[in-house]
Structure 1
């Protein structure tokens, strides 16, 4: 099969109830092990590892809304990489205790395609936030993916794992799709579609209904900090209320498919939370180029950031989704609260060794959705013509 003949992959997403824990309600169902156990996974552009709630959890441990556990002893294809329990940081969420194994992920939408992958298997959650999680685990879609393991630090408030150069420790899902011939390295795209009648994650596939759209912008990737280089961030963002002075500036802005809320810099998000409680005004994010000139503006009306909590301890309330994080200076992330109202495409570049590095993110207004983006381009996005 030539590179351009690779069909790409579409994996349908389902939605759980929106809960006030900062995690996306969207998940996909994948099979794990042999015979396959059907479990709920989030495809997460805000992390660099794969993990799963497992039968290592003791009685009463690892309680979460989705409610499933991977039964290690029931899989004939499971292999241990390291049974040593280690701490995995989820930042302000808390920590997860996990051991490292390897098993087969089965994707029904790919006619039974199975990929062997490294998976961190939880034995304990050291946080109450996991209780409201609509999924059982996550597949990391970090901004860089290589054949050799990376070396990210755990000294960050965000979701991160210190990878080791251990045989079998393979977390790079998108790279594996390319190596398996399912995704063309000429189409190194990941896209998220959440429409009323369908929702999916696309790998090497673009939603053609946006091929003629002029309401889009490209956000070039820039590294927030070395220990969080796996995040899909762009530089020089400011945020504030419409018609008022910016609350924060010179921020790194990230679209994080594993999150729901706006979260990040403690001072900035604390101020936004207070201001939106008082006025419910439109929040505006402005992106600037290297010369400091604005090139796009995102307008987020209150009906987007004021969300009804559908389950969990705050069920029935309508709450502003701004979460200030300790230790997240200079960064602003957002997930489904904004992404549900955009079409989002993450683009890699591929070198001769098939290592992946980030180019940036394309975002499009939805035809029948709120006009979040201010841009009106002169021609359609060139990713549809490559």
Structure 2
């Protein structure tokens, strides 16, 4: 790299492209890659730990994107591949690229050349990519420790080559959405823009999803939509490569459901030392290109990242944003970067989204470079998921798969009737640790999925609720069990609800039992469908669908507690053959998870087809320390009548 200039700041002009409904930031810069230099559009992306560019490795029908640029590596005399393998690189639910590792030179403003390692794309497809306003991205992870090992860290390289002073470890973004112009500045802060209401977000590692520790995350004390508190003690991340709110699936769906009620609620992000409030006029955005062009849509999307709220330009366009690092000098001209945190300052000419300032003040100027090793905060206590194969003392085997907080799977019983049966349910909060359990609620439909001989238990259901705990002897799943026998089974059991405590341990690795994949459900008429109200104000809105062979009913809908007006999703089962079996009682087992207090519940019982009343026993479980396991699950009863 040419390093004839003294250390200074680097100012990169940025532009706002068309806002599209794909979750990616519309902001990009134009930089030149290769020799001779090829102008290409790059995002400067604090939400990734690698560099990449769309390239001519892609066939004509691949890598189609709105910006349209491709790096012609064969035309660059300074280009070289650094690996002989092509491999996938995943952005999670957003999409996957096929990439090859390479290196070349990047021409940055000031006509300086910096050596860069990056990925060349060989294939990608999908609607998200089609709406992309840029050709590639330059990653700015929170620390050099989390860098993808086949990419270079441009900020670190500029310090090493003497183009930026390590005493000014800042990256700032100043985006003006009205003029559609802005800057990214490295190595300096504009003091005139660090006045007035501000927010400091100290970095803390997010590791609920392994491999994304590089994001600029911080503790989020509360997340509210209008008057509804949806979550406490989760995490927040600010990502310059994103636009909309993304993250925890349940939170994003609940947010969209509340917005759909038409009351235009504020989104309030409560931090330990500050607060951000976004009104509906800021999160309902006009889509300027793409399939939804011309529509104004709320910008929230599930991303499969448990207990995380992530956002980008939706917030950053209204703030002067400073990402601050701590530089550690390991050796001569060898610098490592550790995260300090993110500073936000209200733009004086825009909406004042910082509604409570931090007490900590930003002091512009040089920062000390450390000469000793720094230890990054370690991961939180290792958590254990309920996913896997479990066996109880009766010899019954349960196989569970987990997606976010949703559980599905299958059950093989060795007591009474034998066969394979469907499971659905929820967990809450993070996985179990040595010091705290994870609550789990499940519903089982006792209609065999195979070719067993029919018997009266095929009309029955079960509700289970309890705890996943971790002990020195291994993982234990302890569940209170209510078996709902809606009709007599001669010589086995009479009609009634039976109580048991089931203890499961992980099965031997050699015991293979894949969970049954979710079915495609078909609408079916059933007496359980409709709205049901309890005397205390709790309500259920239920719909019933059947599997393709009409063996059993899958229950979906919403649960609204008297303690909260938030409608929470339901998953469960019911008997759809009660009338055909000449029964007056229809078994029901549903499950629900409430994010606000990290509680899961199974509600199991019967629908009395004569009186049209719904009688449910509730097993509610919450996370608890091992010493208080006897308080983990609470039993109550509820009666519902049909709303008229």
Query: 2:374 — aligned with what?
Result: none
- Please state if 1:208 is matched with 2:191: yes
Query: 1:352 — aligned with what?
Result: 329
- Please state if 1:178 is matched with 2:159: yes
1:82 Cα offset (Å): 1.1
Query: 1:372 — aligned with what?
Result: 353
- Please state if 1:382 is matched with 2:363: yes
1:73 Cα offset (Å): 0.6
3-state secondary structure, aligned to 1:272: helix
Larger relative contact order (Cα-Cα within 8 Å, sequence gap ≥ 6): 1
1:124 Cα offset (Å): 0.6
- Contact 2:166–2:327 under 8 Å retained in 1: yes
3-state secondary structure, aligned to 1:99: strand
Q: Deviations over 1:209-262 (max 9, x none)?
A: 224x131121100000152210000013321123x1311221210110000000
- Contact 2:191–2:364 under 8 Å retained in 1: no
- Please state if 1:336 is matched with 2:313: yes
Query: 2:252 — aligned with what?
Result: 269
CA distance in 1, matches of 2:54, 2:211: 25
Q: Deviations over 1:41-72 (max 9, x none)?
A: 00000000000000000121110000010001
CA distance in 2, matches of 1:68, 1:281: 40
- Contact 2:23–2:244 under 8 Å retained in 1: yes
Q: Deviations over 1:170-226 (max 9, x none)?
A: 421110111121211111000000124540001012123224x13112110000015
- Please state if 1:322 is matched with 2:305: no
CA distance in 1, matches of 2:274, 2:164: 31
- Contact 2:287–2:296 under 8 Å retained in 1: yes
- Spell out the pairing of 1:72-87 with structure 2 (5 A cutoff): 72-87=73-88
Q: Deviations over 1:116-160 (max 9, x none)?
A: 1111001110433100000000000000115xxx57xxxxxxxxx
1:377 Cα offset (Å): 6.4
Query: 1:291 — aligned with what?
Result: none
Q: Deviations over 1:253-275 (max 9, x none)?
A: 01100000000000111101111
Q: Deviations over 1:4-24 (max 9, x none)?
A: x62110000011100000000
CA distance in 2, matches of 1:143, 1:379: 20
Deviates more, 1:217-226 or 1:254-263: 217-226
Structure 1 length-normalised TM:
0.88
1:280 Cα offset (Å): 1.3
- Contact 1:214–1:378 under 8 Å retained in 2: no
Query: 1:313 — aligned with what?
Result: 291
- Spell out the pairing of 1:163-174 with structure 2 (5 A cutoff): 163-164=148-149, 169-174=150-155
CA distance in 2, matches of 1:80, 1:379: 47
- Contact 2:62–2:125 under 8 Å retained in 1: no
- Please state if 1:141 is matched with 2:140: yes
Deviates more, 1:307-316 or 1:177-186: 177-186
- Contact 1:98–1:120 under 8 Å retained in 2: yes
Closer/same/farther in 2, CA of residues 238 and 309 from structure 1, 3 Å limit: same
- Please state if 1:231 is matched with 2:215: yes
Query: 2:275 — aligned with what?
Result: 297
CA distance in 1, matches of 2:201, 2:358: 14
- Contact 1:214–1:377 under 8 Å retained in 2: no
1:385 Cα offset (Å): 7.3
List alignment gaps of at least 5 residues for structure 2. 1-5, 368-644
3-state secondary structure, aligned to 2:241: coil
- Contact 2:47–2:214 under 8 Å retained in 1: yes
Query: 1:285 — aligned with what?
Result: 269
- Contact 1:32–1:39 under 8 Å retained in 2: yes
- Spell out the pairing of 1:249-260 with structure 2 (5 A cutoff): 249-260=232-243
CA distance in 2, matches of 1:102, 1:266: 37
3-state secondary structure, aligned to 1:227: coil
Closer/same/farther in 2, CA of residues 368 and 72 from structure 1, 3 Å limit: same
Q: Deviations over 1:293-346 (max 9, x none)?
A: xx21111011110000000000000000000122x1011100011110111100
Closer/same/farther in 2, CA of residues 376 and 247 from structure 1, 3 Å limit: closer
3-state secondary structure, aligned to 2:297: strand
Query: 1:17 — aligned with what?
Result: 18
3-state secondary structure, aligned to 1:285: strand
Query: 2:54 — aligned with what?
Result: 53
2:202 to 209, 215, 220: 220
3-state secondary structure, aligned to 2:199: strand
Query: 2:540 — aligned with what?
Result: none
Deviates more, 1:274-283 or 1:65-74: 274-283
3-state secondary structure, aligned to 1:382: coil
Aligned alpha-carbon RMSD (Å): 1.7
CA distance in 2, matches of 1:277, 1:207: 40
Structure 2 length-normalised TM:
0.53
3-state secondary structure, aligned to 2:167: coil
Q: Deviations over 1:332-383 (max 9, x none)?
A: 1000111101111000001122100100000011112111112356896213
Q: Give the paired residue count.
A: 353
- Contact 2:99–2:120 under 8 Å retained in 1: yes
**Higher relative strand content:** 2
Q: From the CA coordinates, give the structure whose radius of gyration is larger.
A: 2
1:248 to 216, 231, 235: 231
CA distance in 1, matches of 2:265, 2:293: 24
CA distance in 1, matches of 2:96, 2:357: 43
